Amino acid sequence: DQQVKQNSPSLSVQEGRISILNCDYTNSMFDYFLWYKKYPAEGPTFLISISSIKDKNEDGRFTVFLNKSAKHLSLHIVPSQPGDSAVYFCAASARAGNMLTFGGGTRLMVKP
Amino acid sequence: NAGVMQNPRHLVRRRGQEARLRCSPMKGHSHVYWYRQLPEEGLKFMVYLQKENIIDESGMPKERFSAEFPKEGPSILRIQQVVRGDSAAYFCASSLSQGPLGETQYFGPGTRLLVL
């Protein structure tokens, strides 16, 4: 029972272009969503989050969009840089509990 | 370094031995979480602790696994009688609080456990 899904295991983008990573969830109790970036042999690094009361949050090159009716969120990175190459995880939590439920990750490759 | 600290970074155990993984949260954080990542998978929640209390252990295997977060010292994840299927990366995270503004969990570098 995967409550958070990232359907694209990998994504390849040219440097300077936009990267769009997608995430779908099924649990309507989720009200807080986060994106993490992970390099091999390191822990996940927090990137950006969004509460269910918003539909957009922006931080520099990173923007997260939330569509509650579709139970879908996306992370936009623009412009993409080679250093952005990593695995990106979407995660969700519900106010009633603090555990994070993670998607399976999307491997982003930004080509110079 | 004020980040989440984990040690050891790598741990090799033979089947049947015990593994102890340590986690020191970020300064000022009193909420600790343990997650496990099996090869080619996402992170799976194991347990959520506050000082001296286990708040949610719904992700912990029923046998051989235990966790604590004592009043003094790091949080410990203990795996008794390890089996090969326990080989994974174990990540600790901490957060400032559990309210809407404090829900962001910050992760440590992980402990990679290999069971021979």
DSSP lists the bridge partners of residue B2 as: none
Q: What is the mean pLDDT of residues A65-72?
A: 97
Q: How many residues does chain B have?
A: 116
A83 three-class SS? helix
What's the token pair of residue B63?
């046998």
Half-sphere exposure of B93 toward its Cβ, with a 13 Å CA cutoff? 28
CA triple B51-B57-B62, angle to 5 deg: 130
Least trusted range by pLDDT, from A32-41, A87-96, B7-16, B69-78: A87-96
Q: Do A103 and B42 touch (CB under 8 A)?
A: yes
Task: Residue A44: list chain B partners with CB under 8 A.
Answer: 43, 91, 107
Pick from B103, B104, B107: CB nearest A43 = B107
Q: Is A89 on the interface with B (CB under 8 A)?
A: yes
C-alpha distance from residue A90 to each of A15, A20, A71 (Å): 22, 12, 13
- Residue B85 sits at φ, ψ, to 5 deg, of -65, -10
Mutate to test the interface with B, among A98, A101, A102, A106 (most CBs of B within 10 A): A98
- Tens of pLDDT, residue by residue, chain B (116 residues): 579 999 999 999 999 999 999 999 999 888 999 999 998 788 999 999 998 899 999 999 989 999 999 988 999 999 999 999 999 999 999 988 765 555 788 999 999 999 99
Counting one residue from chain A and one from chain B, the pairs whose CB atoms sit within 8 A come to 65
Distance from CA of A105 to the nearest CA of B (A): 6
Give the C-alpha separation, B8 to B30, whole Å. 21
